[in-house]
Amino acid sequence: MKNRSWRTAYAHALPAEEFDRIDAGLADQVESWKRIVADPEVNLVLGEQGPHATSAPESGAVVGMACAGPRRPFGDAAMVLAGTGLSEGDLPERELFAVYLDERVYGTGLADRLLREVLGDAPAVLWVLDGNARAEAFYRRHGFEALGAPAPLGGSWGEHSERLYVRR
């Protein structure tokens, strides 16, 4: 489901073969996610088909996920936070790692519910692809604001960068 959501959200940002490579690495990703959620400080919630769905995905199918945990250190903090007067230690201690929906349940309120379940109203940071306008609007509605300078992603992402968003 997450990889399908990536295909929708990042179709303009990644080469098509990159999505095939990600799909091919699914088994490794599952193992990696198992390690992530084994941390008792990490919350993961799944959204299944239900009253939130606008159309009818397969019965019982997972149509959304969200995950939050302790903020990860980021290597380019000095560059991102330059000019803000802040250092990494001033940022909230929680990070929203992921919110991904099946496109068929966009706009149904499921993302609101997943975000609340995984993070409540807690202060947190997150990273979002610069120009992912729908996600940025969603996060702003939930009290997050962009902070600092865009961080270039490099690799398969080419010229794209990501933005740090913070809720205090």
Ligand X SMILES: CC(C)(COP(=O)(O)OP(=O)(O)OC[C@H]1O[C@@H](n2cnc3c(N)ncnc32)[C@H](O)[C@@H]1OP(=O)(O)O)[C@@H](O)C(=O)NCCC(=O)NCCS
Q: List residues binding ligand X (CB under 6 A).
A: 5, 8-9, 99-101, 106-107, 111-112, 128, 132-135, 137-138, 141
Least Cβ distance, residue 22 to ligand X (angstroms):
14
Beta strands in 33-152 (DSSP E): 43-48, 62-70, 94-101, 124-129, 145-152
Residue closer to ligand X by CB (options 107, 120) is 107
Q: CA 144, CA 166: separation in Å to the nearest integer?
A: 5
DSSP of 58-89: STT-EEEEEEEEEPPP-TTHHHHHTTTT--GG
Q: Residue 23: how many CB atoms within 10 A of its CB?
A: 13
State in angstroms the smallest separation of the CB of 63 from ligand X: 10
Nearer to ligand X, 86 or 112 (CB): 112
Distance CA 60, CA 66 (A): 17
CB closer to ligand X out of 83 and 123 = 123
User: Rounded to the nearest whole angstrom, what is the least distance from the CB of residue 126 to ligand X in the complex?
Assistant: 6
**Minimum CB–partner distance for residue 56 and ligand X (Å):** 17
Q: Would you say 89 or 155 has its CB closer to ligand X?
A: 155
